[in-house]
Amino acid sequence: MDRAGLDTARVAKMIDHSLLRPELTARDVLEGCALAARYDVASVCVKPVDVARAARELSGTDVLVGTVVGFPHGSSTTAVKVAEARTALADGARELDMVLDIGRLRGGEDRAVAEDVRAVVEAAREGDALVKVVFENAYLTDEEKIRACRLSAEAGADYVKTSTGFAPGGATLADVRLMRAHVPERVKVKAAGGVRTLDLLLEMVEAGAERFGATATAAILDDLAGRTAR
């Protein structure tokens, strides 16, 4: 994707405003939802316990509610991940960022990884929700990332995502390019972890990312608005 023509409204709809830090209070979540509504971003990504609260707060807006599944290590059983997905949907979530089973991927248990993803995708379809599969690239080799791309796409994922934002490293341009090159066109790439400036976001757009997890949402969009107003 080229950065040409990316105005503030369009870039806002590429951002999932992240509200996942463990210390966030109910007040913090409500303030984050208000910010997301003010900037009209794509979604908020909240902890499972906050989904119902966020859905109430954002009712009547165009901002979707997303949440995480198997977060942050991907080590929950498939049954638990499916239960998390269904509970989130019932609470109002419409986007699910699930962490794949990192250990099984690294161990070469491809069938188990694919079945885990597919089960969550099937649960998500019951509520017409999107699924983004989080790889946690800081722990993976390029070969493992490529396998994760193939397995996620075959299992029906809508997005592949670089990172949770809670590992030693986050999104990199090299990883975004690698992931874009190894998923079919229908599967999109989400960059998360360390995307804190407009310039980096725009570079990642050129590398192939179409969605971003961000906590610096206001700073990024205010910067773009200031540049386009000149």
Q: pLDDT tens digits, residue range 175-207?
A: 999 999 999 999 999 999 999 999 999 999 999
Evaluate whether residue 154 is within a structural domain.
yes
Name the maximum alpha-carbon separation found in the chain: 53
- Residues recognised as catalytic: 97, 161, 190
Evaluate whether residue 69 is within a structural domain.
yes
Evaluate whether residue 1 is within a structural domain.
no
Evaluate whether residue 31 is within a structural domain.
yes
Evaluate whether residue 122 is within a structural domain.
yes
- Going by C-beta distance under 8 Å and a sequence separation of 6 or more, which residues neighbour residue 14? 42, 201, 205, 210, 211, 212
Report the distance separating Cα 8 and Cα 71, nearest Å: 30
- Per-residue pLDDT tens over the stretch 19-66: 999 999 999 999 999 999 999 999 999 999 999 999 999 999 999 999
- What are the tokens at 74? 């991907």
Evaluate whether residue 104 is within a structural domain.
yes
Report the distance separating Cα 17 and Cα 166, nearest Å: 15
The alpha carbon of 131 is separated from its chain's Cα centroid by a whole number of angstroms, namely: 9
In terms of pTM, does the model score above 0.85? yes
Evaluate whether residue 3 is within a structural domain.
no
Evaluate whether residue 2 is within a structural domain.
no
- Per-residue pLDDT tens over the stretch 207-219: 999 999 999 999 9
- What are the tokens at 174? 């090299």
The number of folded domains in the chain is 1
Per the listing, tokens 């269904």 go with 86
Range of the domain at 37: 8-228
Apex CA 153: angle with CA 150 and CA 159, to 5°? 120
Judge residue 145's burial from the number of C-beta atoms within 10 Å of its C-beta, 0-12 exposed, 13-18 middle, 19 or more buried: buried
CATH for 196: 3.20.20.70
How sure is the predictor about 6, in pLDDT bands with cuts at 50, 70 and 90? confident
Going by C-alpha positions, the residue among 177, 229, 219 that lies closest to residue 195 is 219
Q: What is the pLDDT of residue 2?
A: 52
